[in-house]
Amino acid sequence: MKKGCFWFWTFSFLLLCGCAQPRILEEVGLITTYGLDIAKDGSILGTMVELMIDPTSPQDVVILETEAFSIRGIRNNANKKSSKRLSSGQLRVMIYGEDLLKQGNTGIAQTLTNDPSISDMTYLAMADGTARNILHVKAKHIPDIGIHLFRLIDQNTKEKMMPSATLQEVLHNHYSVGREPILPILKKEGKEGIGFSGVGLFKGSKLVGKISADQSFYLNLIIDKFKGGNKDIEIKSSKLKPRNRQLDKTAASIDSIVSSSDIKLINKEKVEFDINIKLNARLLEITSEIDLGNPENIKLIEKEITKSMTKEIEKLITYCQTKDSDIFGLGETYRSSVRHSKLTDEKWYKMFKEANVNVNLDFSVNRTGLNE
């Protein structure tokens, strides 16, 4: 009896654990997307996409807008406007307005990791213009803007069209010496479309430059590995006659790209790097009257493509050097190959500007599809 009594009290006590705050799905407003901009008075203007789980409501998504001085403040203020308690456990995408990022030193991404309810795999992106504009896009084919943006980024990141910028990766690059973070740029296209338009380059946490979506392919070539992917390459060469007489250039479309890259420091004193990129692909289309059955011609095409890619990559690197934004992680390579370098960000910015970078690209065509 005594023992039974003891266990009775013990287990009834354990029921007290139910005192933890319950989170019933129907009573919670899930925030799937945040958009952050600068408000007129300098505070943060937050736009949130709230997903409501309510079978009776005709609309699943509510867009809330508030101003506050902190990110948490935005959510707390938005709570006042919402019939359901907002929670950010399902946050998938964060979009920053351009002006906010130009300010720099906002520390926004850092505060996000303090909150255990926000996943490190949240995608970060930058808006061309304001984030508010993008989240307010209304179109028939987009019933839920939050999920739409998430799928758009997710799909393109996995296909390597966009550089991957999850919270973990951005913070990782932000906190490492000799590597700067990047964010994909989303742009409102027309009235109803949203598209990937480029990549924002950072120095510390300040936006310093942009590259186009086309160049982001070359960026990915250096910092990532391809296993499948496709790309149109423009070739300007006298040896290839374009089919389209109006244009003076030929386009080659390659896919099933397999690439690997390797950065090496070859000179410590006069900082000099070798970037070796190996690239295999299938040549599917070329807008030129050329006989692909001839191995000589394939060699020619390989050479021309290599030339134009190398040129593009060199252009990209020079651009980044003028912007002080080492997005390739050259500094990281320098730090890890030079003993007692005691590299700091300030030191690296100076060295990066003067660094010599040689690009060695090795491109080869695997096959040309069904026809020769």
Partner 1 sequence: MKVQYQPNPPYILSTFILFFIIHSIQVGIGIQGFQRLIFFEAKQDAWISVVLAGLFTHIVVMVMIKTLQLYGPTDIYGLHTEVYGKWIGKIVNSLYILYCLWIFLIVLINYIEVMQTWVFPNVPTWIFSISILLLVLYGVTGGLRVIVGACFFSIILSVWMLGFIGFPLRFADFHHLLPVMESSIISILKGTHKMTLTVIGFEILYVVYPFLKEREKVTKFAHLGIAGTNLLYLIVILISITYFSPGQLENTIWPTLSLFKIVKLPFIERTEYVAVSYWLLIILPNLMLYLWAAVRGVRRTFEKQRKGLIWIFSFAIFIGSLFLNSRSKINQFNDLFDSMAFYITFCYPFILFILALIKKKMTSLKEK
Amino acid symbol at 103: Q
Per DSSP, 106 falls in state: -
Closest to partner 1 by CB, 137 vs 171, is 171
122 Cβ partners below 8 Å, 6+ apart? 91, 92, 93, 94, 112, 166, 167
**Shortest distance, CB of residue 282 to partner 1, whole angstroms?**
26
Closest to partner 1 by CB, 57 vs 76, is 76
**Shortest distance, CB of residue 21 to partner 1, whole angstroms?**
5
Closest to partner 1 by CB, 172 vs 350, is 172
Interacting residue ranges for partner 1, rule: CB under 8 A:
10, 13-14, 16-17, 19-21, 89-90, 110, 113, 116, 119-121, 166, 168-169, 171-177, 179, 329, 332-333, 336-340
Residue 152 near residue 194, CB atoms below 8 Å: yes
Which residue from 210, 160, 164, 186 is spatially nearest to 320, judged by alpha carbons? 210
**To the nearest 10°, the Cα dihedral for 145, 146, 147, 152?**
80
Closest to partner 1 by CB, 169 vs 302, is 169
Per DSSP, 139 falls in state: B
Copy the structure tokens of residue 20.
């933890």
**Shortest distance, CB of residue 355 to partner 1, whole angstroms?**
17
Residue 320 near residue 327, CB atoms below 8 Å: yes
**Shortest distance, CB of residue 72 to partner 1, whole angstroms?**
13
**Shortest distance, CB of residue 191 to partner 1, whole angstroms?**
33
Closest to partner 1 by CB, 7 vs 246, is 7
Closest to partner 1 by CB, 173 vs 250, is 173
What whole-number distance in Å separates Cα of residue 205 and Cα of residue 43? 18
**Shortest distance, CB of residue 137 to partner 1, whole angstroms?**
26
Can you tell me whether residue 264 is helix, strand or coil? strand
In the block, which residue shows the tokens 């598209």?
Answer: 195
